[in-house]
Structure 1
Protein backbone atom coordinates (compact mmCIF):
# COMPACT_ATOMS: atom_id res chain seq x y z
CA UNK A 1 0.00 0.00 0.00
CA UNK A 2 1.40 3.38 -1.05
CA UNK A 3 1.64 6.05 1.65
CA UNK A 4 -0.50 9.15 1.09
CA UNK A 5 1.38 11.97 -0.61
CA UNK A 6 1.47 15.29 1.19
CA UNK A 7 0.60 18.62 -0.37
CA UNK A 8 4.31 19.48 -0.44
CA UNK A 9 5.03 16.31 -2.44
CA UNK A 10 2.10 16.84 -4.84
CA UNK A 11 3.12 20.45 -5.54
CA UNK A 12 6.05 19.01 -7.50
CA UNK A 13 3.87 16.73 -9.67
CA UNK A 14 2.24 17.69 -12.95
CA UNK A 15 -0.60 15.19 -13.21
CA UNK A 16 -2.52 15.58 -9.95
CA UNK A 17 -6.04 14.15 -9.92
CA UNK A 18 -8.96 14.88 -7.63
CA UNK A 19 -8.48 11.54 -5.87
CA UNK A 20 -4.83 12.33 -5.12
CA UNK A 21 -5.86 15.77 -3.83
CA UNK A 22 -8.74 14.38 -1.73
CA UNK A 23 -6.44 11.70 -0.28
CA UNK A 24 -3.79 14.16 0.96
CA UNK A 25 -3.29 14.29 4.73
CA UNK A 26 -4.61 17.51 6.29
CA UNK A 27 -1.81 20.05 6.74
CA UNK A 28 -3.79 23.21 7.57
CA UNK A 29 -3.27 24.71 4.09
CA UNK A 30 -5.75 25.26 1.27
CA UNK A 31 -5.08 23.95 -2.23
CA UNK A 32 -6.73 23.88 -5.64
CA UNK A 33 -6.05 21.63 -8.62
CA UNK A 34 -5.55 23.67 -11.79
CA UNK A 35 -5.22 21.67 -14.99
CA UNK A 36 -3.59 18.79 -13.10
CA UNK A 37 -1.24 21.02 -11.08
CA UNK A 38 -1.68 21.38 -7.33
CA UNK A 39 -1.66 25.07 -6.33
CA UNK A 40 -1.21 26.40 -2.80
CA UNK A 41 -3.73 29.09 -1.92
CA UNK A 42 -1.87 31.42 0.38
CA UNK A 43 -1.93 33.47 2.41
CA UNK A 44 -5.19 32.65 4.16
CA UNK A 45 -8.05 35.14 3.69
CA UNK A 46 -7.78 38.31 5.75
CA UNK A 47 -10.45 39.45 8.23
CA UNK A 48 -11.52 42.15 5.72
CA UNK A 49 -11.92 39.49 3.02
CA UNK A 50 -14.01 37.36 5.37
CA UNK A 51 -16.23 40.30 6.34
CA UNK A 52 -16.94 41.03 2.66
CA UNK A 53 -17.67 37.36 2.00
CA UNK A 54 -20.01 37.09 4.99
CA UNK A 55 -21.86 40.29 4.13
CA UNK A 56 -22.30 39.27 0.48
CA UNK A 57 -23.59 35.87 1.53
CA UNK A 58 -26.08 37.56 3.87
CA UNK A 59 -27.29 39.88 1.08
CA UNK A 60 -27.65 37.03 -1.43
CA UNK A 61 -29.40 34.80 1.09
CA UNK A 62 -31.88 37.54 1.95
CA UNK A 63 -32.98 37.98 -1.68
CA UNK A 64 -32.13 34.74 -3.51
CA UNK A 65 -32.48 31.82 -1.11
CA UNK A 66 -35.94 30.85 -2.33
CA UNK A 67 -34.43 29.97 -5.71
CA UNK A 68 -30.73 29.40 -4.95
CA UNK A 69 -28.44 27.74 -2.44
CA UNK A 70 -25.46 29.94 -1.57
CA UNK A 71 -22.18 28.35 -0.44
CA UNK A 72 -18.92 29.90 0.75
CA UNK A 73 -15.32 28.71 0.85
CA UNK A 74 -13.76 26.41 1.63
CA UNK A 75 -15.75 24.06 -0.57
CA UNK A 76 -14.43 22.07 -3.52
CA UNK A 77 -15.99 22.68 -6.92
CA UNK A 78 -15.00 19.58 -8.87
CA UNK A 79 -15.11 20.55 -12.54
CA UNK A 80 -13.13 17.52 -13.65
CA UNK A 81 -10.64 15.01 -12.30
CA UNK A 82 -7.88 17.58 -13.02
CA UNK A 83 -9.67 20.85 -12.15
CA UNK A 84 -10.85 21.53 -8.58
CA UNK A 85 -11.45 25.10 -7.43
CA UNK A 86 -12.57 26.77 -4.20
CA UNK A 87 -14.40 29.99 -5.09
CA UNK A 88 -15.13 32.43 -2.30
CA UNK A 89 -18.90 32.22 -2.93
CA UNK A 90 -21.14 30.37 -5.33
CA UNK A 91 -24.83 30.00 -6.09
CA UNK A 92 -26.66 26.95 -7.40
CA UNK A 93 -30.29 26.99 -8.50
CA UNK A 94 -32.45 24.67 -6.43
CA UNK A 95 -33.47 22.80 -9.61
CA UNK A 96 -29.79 21.76 -9.98
CA UNK A 97 -29.11 20.47 -6.45
CA UNK A 98 -28.15 17.12 -7.97
CA UNK A 99 -24.65 18.56 -8.52
CA UNK A 100 -24.18 18.98 -4.76
CA UNK A 101 -22.35 15.87 -3.54
CA UNK A 102 -20.94 14.67 -0.25
CA UNK A 103 -17.42 15.81 -1.16
CA UNK A 104 -18.22 19.03 -2.98
CA UNK A 105 -19.94 20.52 -5.98
CA UNK A 106 -19.77 18.23 -9.04
CA UNK A 107 -19.93 20.60 -11.99
CA UNK A 108 -20.47 24.26 -12.78
CA UNK A 109 -22.36 26.47 -10.31
CA UNK A 110 -24.70 29.12 -11.75
CA UNK A 111 -22.62 31.94 -10.24
CA UNK A 112 -19.08 32.06 -8.89
CA UNK A 113 -17.68 35.00 -6.89
CA UNK A 114 -14.04 35.68 -6.11
CA UNK A 115 -12.99 38.39 -3.65
CA UNK A 116 -9.74 39.65 -5.09
CA UNK A 117 -6.78 40.96 -3.15
CA UNK A 118 -3.37 42.08 -4.39
CA UNK A 119 -1.90 38.59 -3.93
CA UNK A 120 -4.77 36.85 -5.79
CA UNK A 121 -5.15 39.32 -8.68
CA UNK A 122 -3.40 37.21 -11.34
CA UNK A 123 -5.08 33.98 -10.25
CA UNK A 124 -8.59 35.50 -10.10
CA UNK A 125 -8.42 37.64 -13.25
CA UNK A 126 -6.51 35.26 -15.51
CA UNK A 127 -6.33 31.64 -14.40
CA UNK A 128 -9.71 31.29 -12.70
CA UNK A 129 -11.43 33.29 -15.43
CA UNK A 130 -10.19 30.79 -18.02
CA UNK A 131 -11.11 27.77 -15.85
CA UNK A 132 -14.61 28.99 -15.01
CA UNK A 133 -15.29 29.79 -18.67
CA UNK A 134 -13.91 26.44 -19.84
CA UNK A 135 -16.23 24.54 -17.52
CA UNK A 136 -19.30 26.62 -18.30
CA UNK A 137 -19.99 28.82 -15.24
CA UNK A 138 -22.63 31.21 -16.70
CA UNK A 139 -21.70 34.26 -14.59
CA UNK A 140 -18.54 35.25 -12.72
CA UNK A 141 -18.12 38.19 -10.34
CA UNK A 142 -14.81 39.58 -9.13
CA UNK A 143 -14.97 41.88 -6.11
CA UNK A 144 -11.90 44.09 -5.79
CA UNK A 145 -11.29 44.77 -2.09
CA UNK A 146 -8.93 47.66 -2.84
CA UNK A 147 -11.29 49.69 -5.05
CA UNK A 148 -14.61 48.38 -3.64
CA UNK A 149 -15.83 47.48 -7.12
CA UNK A 150 -17.56 44.46 -8.64
CA UNK A 151 -16.74 43.23 -12.15
CA UNK A 152 -19.59 41.24 -13.68
CA UNK A 153 -18.67 38.74 -16.40
CA UNK A 154 -21.13 36.75 -18.49
CA UNK A 155 -20.24 33.63 -20.46
CA UNK A 156 -20.62 34.02 -24.24
CA UNK A 157 -19.62 30.89 -26.08
CA UNK A 158 -16.39 29.78 -24.42
CA UNK A 159 -15.23 33.17 -23.10
CA UNK A 160 -16.35 35.77 -20.59
CA UNK A 161 -17.38 39.26 -21.55
CA UNK A 162 -17.21 42.05 -19.03
CA UNK A 163 -20.83 43.18 -18.73
CA UNK A 164 -20.48 45.87 -16.10
CA UNK A 165 -18.17 47.40 -13.52
CA UNK A 166 -20.12 48.48 -10.43
CA UNK A 167 -19.08 50.95 -7.75
CA UNK A 168 -20.68 53.08 -5.04
CA UNK A 169 -24.49 53.37 -5.41
CA UNK A 170 -24.85 51.64 -8.80
CA UNK A 171 -27.45 48.88 -8.54
CA UNK A 172 -25.90 45.48 -9.20
CA UNK A 173 -28.33 43.47 -11.29
CA UNK A 174 -28.15 40.35 -13.40
CA UNK A 175 -30.31 39.08 -16.25
CA UNK A 176 -29.50 35.56 -15.07
CA UNK A 177 -30.36 36.27 -11.41
CA UNK A 178 -33.39 38.55 -11.10
CA UNK A 179 -33.26 38.15 -7.31
CA UNK A 180 -30.00 40.14 -7.18
CA UNK A 181 -30.28 43.83 -6.32
CA UNK A 182 -27.72 45.60 -4.15
CA UNK A 183 -24.92 48.14 -4.44
CA UNK A 184 -21.28 48.07 -3.43
CA UNK A 185 -22.04 50.84 -0.95
CA UNK A 186 -24.73 48.64 0.62
CA UNK A 187 -22.26 45.74 0.76
CA UNK A 188 -19.45 47.81 2.29
CA UNK A 189 -21.45 49.97 4.72
CA UNK A 190 -21.89 47.14 7.23
CA UNK A 191 -18.19 46.31 7.29
CA UNK A 192 -16.38 47.96 10.19
CA UNK A 193 -13.12 49.86 9.77
CA UNK A 194 -10.34 47.56 10.88
CA UNK A 195 -7.05 48.74 12.36
CA UNK A 196 -3.96 48.29 10.16
Structure 2
Protein backbone atom coordinates (compact mmCIF):
# COMPACT_ATOMS: atom_id res chain seq x y z
CA UNK A 1 0.00 0.00 0.00
CA UNK A 2 1.39 3.40 -1.03
CA UNK A 3 2.17 5.77 1.84
CA UNK A 4 0.18 8.99 1.75
CA UNK A 5 1.51 12.53 2.16
CA UNK A 6 0.21 15.18 4.55
CA UNK A 7 -1.54 16.90 1.62
CA UNK A 8 -3.37 13.67 0.75
CA UNK A 9 -4.29 12.81 4.35
CA UNK A 10 -5.76 16.21 5.31
CA UNK A 11 -8.44 15.60 2.67
CA UNK A 12 -9.60 12.44 4.46
CA UNK A 13 -11.98 12.32 7.38
CA UNK A 14 -11.63 11.00 9.91
CA UNK A 15 -7.88 10.42 10.00
CA UNK A 16 -6.99 7.50 12.28
CA UNK A 17 -3.78 6.61 14.09
CA UNK A 18 -3.14 3.77 11.61
CA UNK A 19 -3.36 6.19 8.66
CA UNK A 20 -1.07 8.66 10.43
CA UNK A 21 1.45 5.94 11.33
CA UNK A 22 1.67 4.92 7.67
CA UNK A 23 2.07 8.40 6.18
CA UNK A 24 5.23 9.58 4.42
CA UNK A 25 7.82 10.92 6.89
CA UNK A 26 8.37 14.49 5.73
CA UNK A 27 10.31 15.63 8.81
CA UNK A 28 7.34 17.52 10.33
CA UNK A 29 5.42 16.70 13.52
CA UNK A 30 1.69 16.12 13.49
CA UNK A 31 -1.18 15.47 15.88
CA UNK A 32 -4.67 14.13 15.25
CA UNK A 33 -7.40 16.27 16.79
CA UNK A 34 -10.83 14.63 16.67
CA UNK A 35 -10.00 12.90 13.39
CA UNK A 36 -8.31 15.93 11.77
CA UNK A 37 -4.59 15.82 10.97
CA UNK A 38 -2.87 18.98 12.24
CA UNK A 39 0.63 20.23 11.45
CA UNK A 40 2.33 21.32 14.66
CA UNK A 41 3.94 24.73 15.18
CA UNK A 42 7.44 25.57 13.95
CA UNK A 43 10.37 24.08 15.87
CA UNK A 44 10.31 25.09 19.55
CA UNK A 45 12.36 28.08 20.73
CA UNK A 46 15.55 27.64 22.71
CA UNK A 47 13.70 28.89 25.81
CA UNK A 48 11.00 26.23 25.29
CA UNK A 49 13.63 23.52 24.95
CA UNK A 50 15.59 24.74 27.98
CA UNK A 51 12.46 24.84 30.16
CA UNK A 52 11.54 21.35 28.96
CA UNK A 53 15.03 20.09 29.81
CA UNK A 54 15.03 21.70 33.28
CA UNK A 55 11.54 20.37 34.09
CA UNK A 56 12.53 16.89 32.91
CA UNK A 57 15.63 17.04 35.11
CA UNK A 58 13.61 18.19 38.14
CA UNK A 59 10.92 15.53 37.71
CA UNK A 60 13.50 12.80 37.08
CA UNK A 61 15.31 13.78 40.27
CA UNK A 62 12.20 13.56 42.44
CA UNK A 63 9.83 11.20 40.61
CA UNK A 64 11.73 8.61 38.58
CA UNK A 65 11.28 5.86 41.21
CA UNK A 66 7.50 6.16 40.93
CA UNK A 67 6.95 7.36 37.36
CA UNK A 68 8.11 6.75 33.82
CA UNK A 69 8.76 10.15 32.25
CA UNK A 70 8.83 10.91 28.54
CA UNK A 71 9.55 14.11 26.66
CA UNK A 72 8.43 14.99 23.13
CA UNK A 73 8.19 13.65 20.60
CA UNK A 74 6.18 10.62 21.70
CA UNK A 75 2.70 9.71 20.47
CA UNK A 76 0.00 9.65 23.13
CA UNK A 77 -2.79 7.64 21.53
CA UNK A 78 -5.93 8.66 23.38
CA UNK A 79 -8.19 7.06 20.76
CA UNK A 80 -8.02 6.02 17.09
CA UNK A 81 -8.82 9.63 16.12
CA UNK A 82 -7.08 11.57 18.94
CA UNK A 83 -3.27 11.43 19.00
CA UNK A 84 -1.20 14.08 20.79
CA UNK A 85 2.50 14.79 21.33
CA UNK A 86 2.75 16.59 24.69
CA UNK A 87 6.00 18.20 25.79
CA UNK A 88 6.24 15.93 28.87
CA UNK A 89 4.20 13.07 30.29
CA UNK A 90 4.35 11.02 33.49
CA UNK A 91 2.99 7.49 33.82
CA UNK A 92 2.87 5.76 37.19
CA UNK A 93 4.90 2.54 37.24
CA UNK A 94 1.75 0.60 38.23
CA UNK A 95 0.28 1.54 34.80
CA UNK A 96 3.21 0.60 32.57
CA UNK A 97 0.92 -1.62 30.49
CA UNK A 98 -0.14 1.48 28.49
CA UNK A 99 3.45 1.91 27.28
CA UNK A 100 3.89 0.28 23.87
CA UNK A 101 6.67 0.41 21.30
CA UNK A 102 4.61 2.70 19.05
CA UNK A 103 3.70 5.13 21.84
CA UNK A 104 1.49 5.55 24.88
CA UNK A 105 -1.84 3.78 24.46
CA UNK A 106 -4.10 5.65 26.89
CA UNK A 107 -4.15 8.59 29.29
CA UNK A 108 -0.92 9.46 31.18
CA UNK A 109 -1.18 10.51 34.85
CA UNK A 110 0.17 13.97 34.05
CA UNK A 111 0.54 15.88 30.79
CA UNK A 112 2.65 19.05 30.48
CA UNK A 113 2.54 21.52 27.61
CA UNK A 114 4.99 24.40 27.37
CA UNK A 115 2.96 27.12 25.70
CA UNK A 116 4.23 29.78 23.33
CA UNK A 117 2.42 32.43 21.31
CA UNK A 118 2.15 29.92 18.43
CA UNK A 119 0.56 27.18 20.56
CA UNK A 120 -1.34 29.08 23.27
CA UNK A 121 -4.86 28.63 21.86
CA UNK A 122 -4.23 24.98 21.01
CA UNK A 123 -2.82 24.25 24.48
CA UNK A 124 -5.38 26.21 26.51
CA UNK A 125 -8.51 25.31 24.55
CA UNK A 126 -8.24 22.31 22.20
CA UNK A 127 -5.79 20.19 24.17
CA UNK A 128 -7.41 21.02 27.50
CA UNK A 129 -10.74 19.72 26.17
CA UNK A 130 -9.13 16.60 24.66
CA UNK A 131 -7.07 15.67 27.72
CA UNK A 132 -10.14 16.06 29.96
CA UNK A 133 -12.33 14.04 27.59
CA UNK A 134 -9.90 11.10 27.68
CA UNK A 135 -9.36 11.21 31.45
CA UNK A 136 -5.89 12.68 32.02
CA UNK A 137 -6.07 13.40 35.80
CA UNK A 138 -3.85 16.49 35.75
CA UNK A 139 -2.71 18.92 33.07
CA UNK A 140 -0.04 21.59 33.43
CA UNK A 141 0.46 24.49 31.05
CA UNK A 142 3.72 26.39 31.42
CA UNK A 143 3.15 29.83 29.91
CA UNK A 144 6.47 31.24 28.73
CA UNK A 145 5.09 34.78 28.31
CA UNK A 146 4.26 35.07 32.04
CA UNK A 147 6.60 32.29 33.19
CA UNK A 148 3.83 30.66 35.21
CA UNK A 149 2.50 27.14 35.60
CA UNK A 150 -1.27 26.68 35.34
CA UNK A 151 -2.38 23.50 37.11
CA UNK A 152 -5.63 21.93 35.88
CA UNK A 153 -7.19 19.06 37.84
CA UNK A 154 -9.87 16.79 36.39
CA UNK A 155 -13.19 17.16 38.19
CA UNK A 156 -15.70 14.80 36.62
CA UNK A 157 -15.40 15.36 32.87
CA UNK A 158 -13.75 18.78 32.86
CA UNK A 159 -10.72 20.54 34.22
CA UNK A 160 -10.80 23.03 37.05
CA UNK A 161 -7.97 25.52 37.36
CA UNK A 162 -6.53 24.48 40.73
CA UNK A 163 -3.62 26.92 40.96
CA UNK A 164 -1.36 29.28 39.03
CA UNK A 165 2.24 29.10 40.26
CA UNK A 166 4.89 31.78 39.79
CA UNK A 167 8.30 32.78 41.12
CA UNK A 168 9.15 30.98 44.41
CA UNK A 169 5.80 29.25 44.98
CA UNK A 170 6.38 25.50 45.37
CA UNK A 171 4.40 23.46 42.86
CA UNK A 172 2.44 20.69 44.55
CA UNK A 173 0.36 18.00 42.88
CA UNK A 174 -2.14 15.46 44.18
CA UNK A 175 -1.75 13.34 41.05
CA UNK A 176 2.06 13.44 41.19
CA UNK A 177 2.93 14.00 44.85
CA UNK A 178 6.67 13.60 44.25
CA UNK A 179 6.80 16.81 42.19
CA UNK A 180 8.30 19.71 44.15
CA UNK A 181 9.91 22.73 42.49
CA UNK A 182 9.26 26.40 41.75
CA UNK A 183 9.31 28.37 38.53
CA UNK A 184 12.32 30.34 39.80
CA UNK A 185 14.17 27.05 40.35
CA UNK A 186 13.49 26.15 36.71
CA UNK A 187 14.67 29.59 35.61
CA UNK A 188 18.00 29.19 37.42
CA UNK A 189 19.03 26.48 34.96
CA UNK A 190 18.17 28.42 31.80
CA UNK A 191 21.12 29.65 29.71
CA UNK A 192 19.03 32.62 28.46
CA UNK A 193 16.27 34.05 30.66
CA UNK A 194 12.84 34.75 29.15
CA UNK A 195 12.18 38.51 28.64
CA UNK A 196 9.81 38.61 31.63
CA UNK A 197 12.59 37.49 34.01
CA UNK A 198 15.37 39.80 32.81
Normalising by structure 2, what TM-score? 0.96
Task: Using the TM superposition, give the Cα deviation of residue 100 of structure 1 relative to its aligned residue in structure 2, in angstroms.
Answer: 0.2
In structure 1, the residue matched to 2:185 is: 186
Q: How does 1:50-129 map to 2 (within 5 A)?
A: 50-129=49-128
Partner deviation per Cα, 1:36-83 (whole Å, 9 max, x = no partner): 000000211111111110110000000000100110000000011000
Partner SS state of residue 39, structure 1: strand
Query: How far apart, in 1, do the equivalents of 2:19 and 2:173 lie?
Result: 37
Query: How far apart, in 1, do the equivalents of 2:111 and 2:6 lie?
Result: 25
Distance 1:151 1:53, change over 3 A: same
Task: Using the TM superposition, give the Cα deviation of residue 25 of structure 1 relative to its aligned residue in structure 2, in angstroms.
Answer: 1.2
Q: Unmatched 5+ residue regions in structure 2?
A: none
8 Å CA contact 2:152, 2:161 repeated in 1: yes
Query: How far apart, in 1, do the equivalents of 2:193 and 2:170 lie?
Result: 26
8 Å CA contact 2:144, 2:194 repeated in 1: no
Task: Using the TM superposition, give the Cα deviation of residue 194 of structure 1 relative to its aligned residue in structure 2, in angstroms.
Answer: 6.7
Partner deviation per Cα, 1:73-115 (whole Å, 9 max, x = no partner): 0000001100000000000000000000010000000000000
Query: How far apart, in 1, do the equivalents of 2:10 and 2:43 lie?
Result: 18
In structure 2, the residue matched to 1:161 is: 160
In structure 1, the residue matched to 2:142 is: 143
Partner SS state of residue 20, structure 2: helix
Taking only aligned residues, the RMSD between alpha carbons, in angstroms, comes to 1.3
Partner SS state of residue 118, structure 1: coil
Distance 1:195 1:171, change over 3 A: closer
Query: How far apart, in 2, do the equivalents of 1:12 and 1:152 lie?
Result: 36
Q: How does 1:18-37 map to 2 (within 5 A)?
A: 18-37=17-36
Instruction: After superposing the two structures, state which structure 1 stretch, 179-188 or 2-11, moved more.
Output: 2-11
Partner SS state of residue 161, structure 1: strand
Task: Using the TM superposition, give the Cα deviation of residue 12 of structure 1 relative to its aligned residue in structure 2, in angstroms.
Answer: 2.6
Partner SS state of residue 15, structure 2: coil
Task: Using the TM superposition, give the Cα deviation of residue 14 of structure 1 relative to its aligned residue in structure 2, in angstroms.
Answer: 2.4
